[in-house]
Amino acid sequence: MKVGLIFGTRPEAIKVSTVYHELKNNGIDIKAVVTGQHKEMLYQVLDLFEIKPDYDLQIMKQGQNLAELTGRLIIKLDEVMKKEKFDYVLVQGDTTSVLAGALSAFYNQIPIGHIEAGLRTGNLYSPFPEEANRKLVGTITDIHFAPTDINVKNLLQEGYPKNKILKVGNTVIDALYWIKKHKKEKLENIRKKYNINNKKYILLTMHRRENWGIPMENTLKAIRSYLEKNEELYIVFPMHLNPLVRETAHKILDGFERKIFLEPLEYLEFIAVMDGAHYIMTDSGGVQEEAPSLGKPTLVLRDNTERPEAIEAGTAKLVGTQYDNVIKYMKLLEGDLYMEMSRSNNPYGDGKTSERIRKYLYSSVNIK
Ligand code: UD1
Ligand code: UDP
């Protein structure tokens, strides 16, 4: 059985890493087809998880837009599909690489397994374009690997047949466990390296398209204003490489002393920085899943989320990007809410998601 695993951005690489090893170590001919939608941020992950791409399409351009990115991806991926004639193609999540990967497989009539299927906000424009990507990929997917009961329910409500939906958990938890098992470096040493080991800090990440510009400006202004009155607190911001994100970050936070800008961190280092944070503010998808496992209160800088599990579990709050609301929640975390939100909780999986995916692929071959 020959499987093509298509991925191209940092979070996808993290979340397919254990699937790749699980299939490879169990006799499946797996090819890592890297689109290269990301470059530096992706290579960091490939090195850490010891993945050697079979293909690297090196597609990234500075300031790429959705249309040209999608167009270039589909043309290049089609060549790979025609050459390799995969029995199955796997994609993970909701990026442009996922949409283009699934579409290329579909054009070549190759069955698609969608990892992290069934996440929905119900708003096509938020997150943009990810909500549409998930739904579009869903319609051409052969098997939906859904992380949670809520994701299964979403898919059933959209009319997908029950026998094509498998609840498997989220591979992000497999990746966290893999790191714990294989990488022994001391998390404290990593924090020392960045000179944040003895500081009380909020960890911030922000990169979503719908937050570019004013929403991000308002959020950073609120954080700055709050921190100016709370002198023991720092803000640590490992910045996405997107120039638009960096421009806004510098515009609002330059000149403020207790900010620490970092380059995108290698995954292990990022976990160390998460682990040492007082709390987390983020618009990231993956971070919303990891934070509950580490027992870190998380303020979600978005108006909605496709990951309501952490909110239901009480470890995350949906805050949005309005100046007053951001400050309101930062103030609330000065009180009892902080302890309530600090409970370690993991609604996203048990670390065996990749194994379940492999078992399904075996069984599907037997059926055929
Ligand atoms: C993409 C995904 C988003 C995901 C995010 C993870 C789409 C439409 N968006 O958004 O769902 O949450 O990745 O981080 O697929 N850049 C670099 N080096 C890198 C990576 C990015 O320089 O290694 C810069 C480039 O200028 C690039 C820009 O960032 O053009 C934007 O990258 P792109 O992949 O288009 O969008 P993201 O915001 O990263
Ligand atoms: N991450 C990382 N280094 C960083 C910031 C994030 O390794 O400097 C990891 C994080 O732990 C999570 C993933 O990258 O697993 C999230 O990626 P991102 O926020 O870019 O994308 P999203 O999850 O929102 O699609």
**116 counts as catalytic:** yes
The preferred substitution site among 267, 274, 281, 300 for testing ligand 2, maximizing ligand atoms within 8 Å of CB, is 267
* Domains 2-170+350-364 and 182-342 alike in fold: yes
- Give residue 182's pLDDT: 75
Nearest CA to ligand 2 atom 12: 286
Q: What is the pLDDT of residues 296-310, one digit of tens each?
A: 999 999 999 999 999
- The C-alpha atoms of residue 124 and residue 249 are separated, in whole angstroms, by 27
> Is the per-residue pLDDT at 367 higher than 60?
no
> Is the per-residue pLDDT at 184 higher than 70?
no
E strands, 211-256, where? 233-238
Structure confidence at residue 360 as a pLDDT band (50, 70, 90)? very high
- The C-alpha atoms of residue 139 and residue 25 are separated, in whole angstroms, by 31
**240 counts as catalytic:** yes
- The C-alpha atoms of residue 219 and residue 281 are separated, in whole angstroms, by 10
Read off the pLDDT of each residue in 19-24 and give the average, rounded to a whole number. 97
- The C-alpha atoms of residue 182 and residue 180 are separated, in whole angstroms, by 6
> Is the per-residue pLDDT at 179 higher than 90?
no
Q: What is the pLDDT of residues 217-237, one digit of tens each?
A: 999 999 999 999 999 999 999
Nearest CA to ligand 1 atom 29: 242
Nearest CA to ligand 1 atom 2: 95
Mean pLDDT over the full length of the chain: 96
- Each domain of the chain, given as residue ranges in start order, spans 2-170+350-364, 182-342
Structure confidence at residue 366 as a pLDDT band (50, 70, 90)? low
Q: What is the pLDDT of residues 246-266, one digit of tens each?
A: 999 999 999 999 999 999 999
Superfamily in which the 2-170+350-364 domain is placed by CATH: Glycogen Phosphorylase B; (3.40.50.2000)
> Is the per-residue pLDDT at 368 higher than 50?
no
The residues that bridge with 279 in the sheet, in sequence order, are 202
Q: What is the pLDDT of residues 325-348, one digit of tens each?
A: 999 999 999 999 999 999 878 899
Read off the pLDDT of each residue in 94-103 and give the average, rounded to a whole number. 98
CA of 261 to the centre of ligand 2 (A): 16
Read off the pLDDT of each residue in 111-119 and give the average, rounded to a whole number. 98
Q: Is the CB of 215 under 6 A from ligand 1?
A: no
Read off the pLDDT of each residue in 76-85 and give the average, rounded to a whole number. 98
CATH class of the structural domain 182-342: alpha beta
- Give residue 187's pLDDT: 80
Q: Vertex 244, ends 94 and 91: CA angle to 5°?
A: 15
CA of 26 to the centre of ligand 2 (A): 28
CA of 264 to the centre of ligand 2 (A): 9
| Residues 6+ positions from 269 with CB-CB distance below 8 Å | 190, 193, 194
The preferred substitution site among 9, 210, 287 for testing ligand 1, maximizing ligand atoms within 8 Å of CB, is 9
Q: Is the CB of 10 under 6 A from ligand 1?
A: yes
Omega of the bond leading into 127 within 30 degrees of 0 (cis): yes
Omega of the bond leading into 129 within 30 degrees of 0 (cis): yes
Read off the pLDDT of each residue in 347-353 and give the average, rounded to a whole number. 95
The preferred substitution site among 43, 91, 95, 283 for testing ligand 1, maximizing ligand atoms within 8 Å of CB, is 95
Residues of the chain with pLDDT > 70, as a percent, come to 99
Structure confidence at residue 365 as a pLDDT band (50, 70, 90)? low
Q: What is the pLDDT of residues 150-176, one digit of tens each?
A: 999 999 999 999 999 999 999 999 999
- Give residue 364's pLDDT: 82
CB 329 within 8 A of CB 311: no
